[in-house]
Structure 1
Amino acid sequence: MATNKNQHLVPRCYLKPFTRDEGNATIKLFNIDRKRFVPTAPVKNQCSGSYFYGQDPTLEEAIQSCESAYASLLRKIRGPGYSLDNEDKCFLRYFWLVQHLRTEAASRRSVEEVAEAESVIGGGSLSFAFGIKEAVLMAMDAVAEAAPIIDDLKVCLLKNRTGIPFVTSDDPAIASNRWYLEDRRTVGCSFGINASGLITLLPLTPEILCLAYDGDVYSVQHEHGWVQVRNAGDVRALNQHQILNCFANLYLPETASEEDARSQYADCAHHRLAVRHKLNYAVPESEHEGYVRFVVTEADDSTRKGEALLHLQTLHPKPTRWPSLLRSRKPGAVYANGTAVNYVRERHALAPDSINPFRKERAW
């Protein structure tokens, strides 16, 4: 049986650098829904719940081992003269993935997607309805399978040299994609972690942020793995991702003021999405040479009678600005095969597909 009943989905070792005097007791937060600033919220109550990971001691031990390794690496990163090496890059990618999949916000979105699919199909047609805890456990099971997918991403650390600190949130491990959100070829499309142009973001402290990116699409100037960020606008651009992605709470370091938190929120609040998925329901329209053409329609009593396709599409918030340090690599390279897979990075385009081979295209 698991030894800890109160289990954190955003670990306390992660939040510690953002807490008051790094004492891990209280933290400043800004609640998005109520627009309420709380200067001393107890850390023990943040992003936690009873047996979120169930009562499997093996899983709990694995999570604790990962968190311990992260805390150790962060101490090394903050030490003098640190240079980012390949082993640490690998772990930072892995920790980002664990955190990206494990939060209550991510799991709640999965639950809402399944619940909406059930409501559209009706009649208890789905046999895999689940709750938040089940979604968390499913996400943790997916980590090992998903980890190799992001091994090709470039990794660097951003050192904040401005007077505006990095902020974090209850869903801090961000997956975004400037190329997908701006290129005309991908209008209306979703992206996954194998996509061309992927960007991942995870603030480590108020002064350090880990950035991973598709090196075929972007270029970032760095030295020994470090990027010196001296432009306050770049910090605000990076903070926008936390504001747009968080479920309920932004977490602010002691140096952050309520006035600046409200100002940064106001800059991009209108870009927060009310829902993070769209359900598309399609029915057969015609058939030709063994291929069936489907058309998107409304789900009602008449369309539910026969065959149908159900597609849950993830929606992604788009910030109002991007950091200037993230430059376009021209001409760059993206890969597509004309199917709903859309654009993927080179590694994921190498698998042989005699029917739909991937082709290389210019990114910019």
Structure 2
Amino acid sequence: MQITKNQHYVPRFYMKPFSMIKNEGTKKEKVLISFYQFKGNLFRDNIPTSSVCSEDFFYDEDGKVENKLAEEENKWGSTILKINRGEVLTANDIKNIREFTAYQISRTKAMLAHNQDMVTTILTDVLYNRNSDLNKSVINEMVEKKVESEITSEYNLDFVNDILSTIDDLKMIILENKTDIAFFTSDVPVIIVNPLGIHRAGLGDIGTVVFFPISQKKMVMFYDSKLYGKIAEEIQDSECIYTFNKYQYVSADERILALNSIEFEKFIQDKELNAFREKFHVSAKTTTSYDGIGTFMAAKSRSIEYYLDIPILKLPKSLKKIPRDFRETFPRNYNFKTRRAILCRVYREPDFIKEEKLKNHWRQMQEYAKVLLEYLDYYWNTPKEDCVISGEFMRQLKEVPVNFFPTREL
């Protein structure tokens, strides 16, 4: 079995459409890409893609995972080439792109670090809270070694089938960039956002959008067509392209990638954008708290908060009326428990809140929750019997116990 030492977490075929190609189609072909590296503020032009977004034995040393990925990359690369050539796609081609998307979400160096950090933080704090006589740094060191040996690049790929089944109902379209501004990409190219959820973008949620460029002029997008309806596939507005590129800038772990590094200067100098990027990389980290009884964990996904409006993603009129701070998303698949939780928000009396400011906030939230629920019932096609509220059920909703209410500044 052939063993490849230099293993890519962003495949070379994906970087090729963003690169300069010398001696194309010959044995002397060279594919050169430019990048900006955040650490050290480094600009590099015309670097061989063979040495970009890769590490020695990133997946394994026996070559099994790397060789399997190489086989898959052949078909993924062929399909992306078809798209960039403007050829008609078959059902199998669309299946290939879904697979590539799921794998690319799972396989990056950033996702590996994210998952390792999440598990390390949780285990370290749980063990320390159970026995605070132990030195926390010693616990952390032991946990880190254990996690690094078990949460591996290969382990991350085990989640691919779950991702595929979750995004199966999202519609795929190819966006065409008709402006003079080129798409660029990054070492974390697949972006997940949700204009409805704002702060949350689970793959199974209503309103979730997944997108990534496949060349300077084309982008793959998966979206919730039941919410957004038909999306215009040609983009004439350069500001829309800038917005897509800004999400790449925020998402990037170590570097952003393009044909020429000069394309990055406008983004690097954008103070607001850099603040978004810093906020994202801090907020994506897992946090814990201990109340003397148990450890509370807030594990975060690597989806990006909807910082910047994407013009082609238009919410239904009723949902537009809900201010950003009160928007929220829920699973696309109907579940009565989910609906009941929303009903609790709509009808729970705010008598458990002492501060008048927080009470007013709660009442505002209730009004917008009613608007949201009305739309959700349409979206879910909620069974009529589940929409009936008996007198006893209403009493329970108004008095449901509340164990926690955030007292953040409003």
Give the alignment's TM-score, normalised by structure 2.
0.69
Match of 1:137 among 118, 129, 154: 154
2:194–2:200 Cα contact (<8 Å) kept: no
- 1:90-239 matches, cutoff 5 A: 90-121=95-126, 122=128, 124=139, 129-131=146-148, 134-181=151-198, 190-222=200-232, 227-239=233-245
Query: Residues 25 and 344 of structure 1: is their aligned pair in 2 closer, same or farther, counting only changes over 3 Å?
Result: same
Name the residue aligned to 1:288.
none
2:192–2:304 Cα contact (<8 Å) kept: no
Secondary structure in 2 matching 1:178:
coil
Larger radius of gyration: 2
Q: Deviations over 1:264-320 (max 9, x none)?
A: 23331121134222413254xxxxxxxxxxxxxxxxxxx3xx443433234654465
How many angstroms does 1:325 deviate by? 1.8
> Following the alignment from structure 1 to structure 2, what is the Cα–Cα distance between the partners of residues 102 and 241?
19
> Following the alignment from structure 2 to structure 1, what is the Cα–Cα distance between the partners of residues 95 and 318?
27
Query: Residues 92 and 270 of structure 1: is their aligned pair in 2 closer, same or farther, counting only changes over 3 Å?
Result: same
> Following the alignment from structure 1 to structure 2, what is the Cα–Cα distance between the partners of residues 141 and 354?
28
Name the residue aligned to 1:11.
11
> Following the alignment from structure 2 to structure 1, what is the Cα–Cα distance between the partners of residues 200 and 149?
23
Q: Deviations over 1:196-253 (max 9, x none)?
A: 211111110111110111112223434xxxx111111010011111100000100012
Name the residue aligned to 2:393.
none
Name the residue aligned to 2:252.
246
> Following the alignment from structure 1 to structure 2, what is the Cα–Cα distance between the partners of residues 132 and 233?
44
2:121–2:286 Cα contact (<8 Å) kept: no
Match of 2:300 among 313, 327, 348: 313
How many angstroms does 1:355 deviate by? 11
How many angstroms does 1:78 deviate by? 2.5
Question: What letter corresponds to residue 265 of structure 2 in structure 1?
Answer: R
1:278–1:315 Cα contact (<8 Å) kept: no
1:160–1:228 Cα contact (<8 Å) kept: yes
1:100–1:106 Cα contact (<8 Å) kept: yes
The percent identity for this pair of structures is 21
2:123–2:143 Cα contact (<8 Å) kept: no
Query: Residues 8 and 257 of structure 1: is their aligned pair in 2 closer, same or farther, counting only changes over 3 Å?
Result: closer
1:104–1:132 Cα contact (<8 Å) kept: no
Name the residue aligned to 1:73.
79
Pairing 1:280–2:263 present: no
Name the residue aligned to 1:60.
66
Match of 1:323 among 293, 302, 310: 310
How many angstroms does 1:342 deviate by? 6.3
User: Whose helix proportion is higher, 1 or 2?
Assistant: 2
- 1:249-268 matches, cutoff 5 A: 249-253=255-259, 256=260, 258=262, 260-267=263-270, 268=273
Unaligned runs of 5+ in 1: 182-188, 284-302, 333-340
User: Whose strand proportion is higher, 1 or 2?
Assistant: 1
Aligned residues: 318
Name the residue aligned to 1:343.
330
Secondary structure in 1 matching 2:226:
coil
> Following the alignment from structure 1 to structure 2, what is the Cα–Cα distance between the partners of residues 40 and 73?
26
Question: What letter corresponds to residue 205 of structure 1 in structure 2?
Answer: S
Question: What letter corresponds to residue 330 of structure 2 in structure 1?
Answer: Y
> Following the alignment from structure 1 to structure 2, what is the Cα–Cα distance between the partners of residues 132 and 329?
47
How many angstroms does 1:322 deviate by? 2.5
Give the alignment's TM-score, normalised by structure 1.
0.77
How many angstroms does 1:330 deviate by? 4.4
Question: What letter corresponds to residue 210 of structure 2 in structure 1?
Answer: T
Query: Residues 27 and 257 of structure 1: is their aligned pair in 2 closer, same or farther, counting only changes over 3 Å?
Result: closer
Q: Deviations over 1:10-61 (max 9, x none)?
A: 0111111111137553211011233322112232221111222214544333
Q: Deviations over 1:66-100 (max 9, x none)?
A: 210111112221234x2344433332122111001
Name the residue aligned to 1:185.
none
Unaligned runs of 5+ in 2: 23-28, 129-133, 320-327, 344-372, 380-410
Instruction: Indicate the RMSD between aligned Cα atoms, in angstroms.
Output: 3.1
Secondary structure in 1 matching 2:225:
coil
